[in-house]
């Protein structure tokens, strides 16, 4: 049985001198290995003819302008190699808009750092932090975007609103029993609840409006893309029709020439 | 005189982004070629190439230079390709157009090459791409690293975490399959 490891090593010129000499002695005696070696050299020659397409590279690492912070934002200096005019790109843009709308409404901050992307809800202004602390120390929650689905993010927001409401109820009850001014505190509590409910309702309404706007944009983009496709297909059809007509003319000319020459004979 | 990879890595680790971009420019074509030949799709190969450098940049502080920088990059790229293949749950795609556009190809011909030679060259290239796409992933990877990137058997073994003899076996098996596939394609050879 021939040693195929040696065959491969010999093929790639990876044998030391003694091993090489030994394998060449074997080759002189073994026609099967000689044929195999020759065939594999042919395959290697064919492999060299396979070249990848020439890409248009534009990717570079750049630093984020807000260098005062430790995090570096990693991004290419072009948006992406993906073509932005494709229908899929329109949908992707819509998804980004939805995320941005949700982030704006829920006071979400998105951070990028060495550990990846992080999404932080309801934490940015210090005044809000203080207000939240005043309602029983409810803290902003950090949600890892890579692990959390949209439903989880919205769940986190909902939980935070509920926690705020619960904390405000607790604080209101404790304060009322301490001061004895139950009626006044109850009124304040009611106002706070109303404000929270109103704020939540307004946020949901605005979010629904933005979603509707995004859907309209997506539909328009899709219609435009379909129209472009139709125009493109029409042009291709026209080109084929022209070519077919030219072919017909040429064939007629050849047939006529043949028939003329036949008639002359 | 241009800096070595090791010098550029050291400067990049110190926060010099230009040095890292020099590494990107130096290695983006080989990494793209590796990704393209492994997964067979231009767009996805570019994405893998970009992601490879982003990951390398993020992990650069942890790179201690045990291996060559290029080997480290190859390893990241191969892992990403592997992820892609598993995610897509399919074999790589051989991008071989059915028709041959002679007008477009004519501009690619070398001065001494006839259009017939050029067509034959393209056909071989497509046949190779199709045959490579049929190979099992481990054999294809071994052939790509050896044939197109000139790695030693030992470097490939280290990169793929397998014994040296396994690398040779994969190469032998892969080349044998390619030989049969290319023979089957027939007709184009030895022009």
Q: Is residue A57 part of a domain?
A: no
Residue A202 and residue A97 in one domain: yes
Q: What mean pLDDT do residues A235-256 have?
A: 84
Considering the domain architecture, whether residues A42 and A114 belong to the same structural domain is answered as no
Alpha-carbon distance B20 to B16, whole Å?
A: 7
Average pLDDT of span A197-216 = 84
When scoring A9, A44, A61 by the number of chain B Cβ atoms within 10 A, the one with the most, hence best to mutate, is A61
Q: How many domains does chain A have?
A: 2
Residue A86 pairs in a beta bridge with none
Q: Which tokens is A184 given?
A: 């006044």
Chain B residue with the nearest C-alpha to that of A64 = B17
The residue of B172, B174, B185, B189 whose CB has the most chain A CBs within 10 angstroms, and thus the best one to mutate to test that interface, is: B172
Can you give the pLDDT at residue A170?
60
For residues A205 and A94, membership in a common domain is answered with: yes
Question: A16 and A113 share a domain?
Answer: no
Shared domain check, A91 and A38: no
- The domains of chain B are located at 1-90, 101-191
Q: Which residues of A touch B45 (CB under 8 A)?
A: 52, 55
Q: Does A59 contact B50 at a Cβ distance shorter than 8 Å?
A: yes
Q: Which pLDDT tens digit goes with each residue over B136-146?
A: 999 999 999 99
- Pair (A101, A209) in one structural domain: yes
Domain shared by A131 and A203, yes or no: yes
Domain assignment of residue A225, yes or no: no
Domain membership of residue A39 as a residue range: 4-47
Instruction: Kindly provide the ipTM of the predicted complex, given to two decimals.
Output: 0.80
Look at residue A12 and tell me if it is in a domain. yes
Q: How many contacts does A have with B, using Cβ atoms within 8 A?
A: 98
Element holding A117 (H helix, E strand):
strand A116-121
Same domain (yes/no): A32, A93: no
The pLDDT of residue A249: 84
Q: What is the reported pLDDT for B124?
A: 84
Per-residue pLDDT reduced to its tens digit, B87-128? 886 655 655 444 444 444 444 545 555 666 666 767 888 889
Q: Which residues in chain B have their CB less than 8 angstroms from residue A8's CB?
A: 168, 171-172, 175
Q: Which of residues 6-45 of B touch A (CB under 8 A)?
A: 17, 20-21, 24-25, 28-29, 32-33, 36-37, 42-43, 45
pLDDT at A261: 75
Domain spanning B1-90: CATH 1.10.1740.10: yes
* Tokens found for residue A90: 């329109």
Which pLDDT score, from 0 to 100, does residue A12 have?
96
Pick the residue with more confidence: B177 or A113?
B177
The 10s digit of each residue's pLDDT in A134-181 is 333 333 333 333 444 556 666 766 777 677 667 656 654 454 444 444
Does residue A147 fall inside a structural domain? Answer: yes
Q: Are residues A31 and A128 in the same domain?
A: no
Q: How far apart are the CA of B91 and the nearest CA of chain A, in angstroms?
A: 18
Nearest to A141 by CA among A126, A115, A127, A161: A161
Final residue before a domain boundary, out of A191, A214, A237:
A214
Residue A232: pLDDT band with limits 50, 70, 90: confident
Q: Binning pLDDT at 50, 70 and 90, where does residue B190 land?
A: very low
Q: What is the pLDDT of residue A95?
A: 53
- What is the pLDDT at residue A35? 94
**Pairwise CB contact (< 8 Å): B182 & A50:** no
CATH code of the region B101-191: 1.10.10.10
- Span B50-94, pLDDT tens digits: 999 999 999 998 998 888 999 999 999 999 999 998 888 665 565
Q: What pLDDT score was predicted for residue A84?
A: 36
Using one digit for the tens of pLDDT, what is the confidence trace for B27-53?
999 999 999 999 988 999 999 999 999
A259 in a domain, yes or no?
A: no
pLDDT band at B22 (very low <50, low <70, confident <90, very high): very high
- Contact in structure between A74 and B58 (CB atoms under 8 Å): yes
Looking at A12-21, A145-154, A173-182, A212-221, which range is the least confident one? A173-182
A237 is a domain residue: no
Residue A37 within a domain: yes
Is A200 inside any structural domain?
yes
Q: What is the pLDDT of residue A131?
A: 38
The minimal CB distance from A59 to the residues B28, B42, B168 is found for B28
* pLDDT at position B86: 87
Asked whether residue A96 falls in the same domain as residue A206, the answer is yes
Q: Tell which wins on pLDDT, A124 or B64.
A: B64
- Give residue B147's Cα distance to chain centre: 9
d(CA A41, CA B181): 15
Subunit contact B124:A49, Cβ cutoff 8 A: yes
Of A42, A53, A60, the CB nearest to B21: A60
Q: How far apart are CA A87 and CA A203, in angstroms?
A: 30
Condensed to tens digits (0 to 9), the pLDDT of residues A37-82 reads: 999 999 999 999 898 888 777 777 776 554 444 344 444 444 444 3
Write out the DSSP string of A158-176.
HHHHHHHHHHHHHHHHHHH
């Amino acid at each position: 049985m021939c040693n195929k490891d040696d065959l491969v090593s010999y093929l790639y010129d990876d044998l030391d001198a003694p091993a090489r000499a030994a394998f060449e002695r074997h080759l002189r005696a073994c026609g099967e290995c000689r044929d195999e070696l020759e065939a594999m050299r042919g395959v290697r020659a064919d492999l060299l003819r396979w070249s990848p397409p020439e890409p248009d590279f534009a990717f570079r690492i750049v630093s984020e302008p807000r260098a005062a912070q430790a995090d570096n934002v990693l991004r290419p200096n072009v948006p992406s190699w993906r073509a932005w005019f494709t229908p899929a790109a329109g949908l992707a843009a819509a998804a980004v808009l939805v995320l941005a709308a949700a982030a704006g409404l829920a006071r979400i901050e998105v951070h990028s750092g060495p550990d990846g992307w992080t999404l932080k809800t309801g934490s940015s202004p210090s005044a809000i932090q203080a207000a939240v602390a005043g309602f029983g120390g409810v803290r902003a929650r950090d949600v890892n975007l890579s692990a959390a689905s949209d439903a989880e993010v919205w769940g986190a927001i909902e939980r935070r609103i509920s926690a705020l409401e619960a904390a405000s109820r607790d604080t209101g009850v404790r304060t009322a029993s301490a001061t004895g001014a139950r009626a006044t505190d109850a009124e304040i509590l009611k106002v706070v609840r109303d404000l929270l409910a109103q704020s939540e309702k307004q946020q949901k309404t605005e979010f629904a409006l933005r979603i509707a706007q995004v859907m309209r944009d997506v539909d328009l983009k899709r219609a435009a893309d379909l129209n472009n496709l139709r125009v493109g297909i029409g042009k291709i059809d026209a080109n084929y029709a022209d070519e077919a007509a030219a072919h017909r003319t040429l064939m007629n000319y050849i047939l006529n020439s043949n028939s003329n020459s036949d008639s002359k004979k | 005189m241009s800096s070595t990879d090791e010098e550029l890595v050291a400067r990049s680790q110190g926060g010099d982004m230009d040095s890292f971009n020099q590494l990107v420019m130096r290695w983006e074509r080989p990494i793209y070629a590796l990704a393209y030949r492994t997964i067979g799709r231009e767009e996805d190969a570019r994405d893998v190439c970009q992601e490879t450098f982003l990951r390398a940049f993020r992990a650069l502080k942890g790179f201690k230079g045990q291996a060559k920088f290029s080997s480290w990059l190859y390893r990241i790229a191969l892992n990403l390709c592997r992820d892609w293949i598993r995610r897509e749950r399919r074999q790589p795609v051989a991008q071989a157009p059915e028709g041959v556009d002679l007008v477009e190809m004519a501009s690619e011909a070398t001065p001494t090459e006839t259009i017939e030679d050029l067509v034959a060259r393209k056909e071989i290239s497509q046949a190779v791409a199709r045959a490579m796409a049929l190979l099992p992933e481990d054999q294809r990877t071994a052939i790509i690293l050896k044939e197109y990137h000139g790695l030693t058997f030992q470097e490939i073994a280290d990169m793929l975490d397998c014994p040296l003899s396994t690398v040779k076996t994969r190469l032998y098996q892969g080349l044998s399959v390619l030989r049969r596939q290319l023979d089957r394609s027939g007709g184009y050879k030895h022009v």
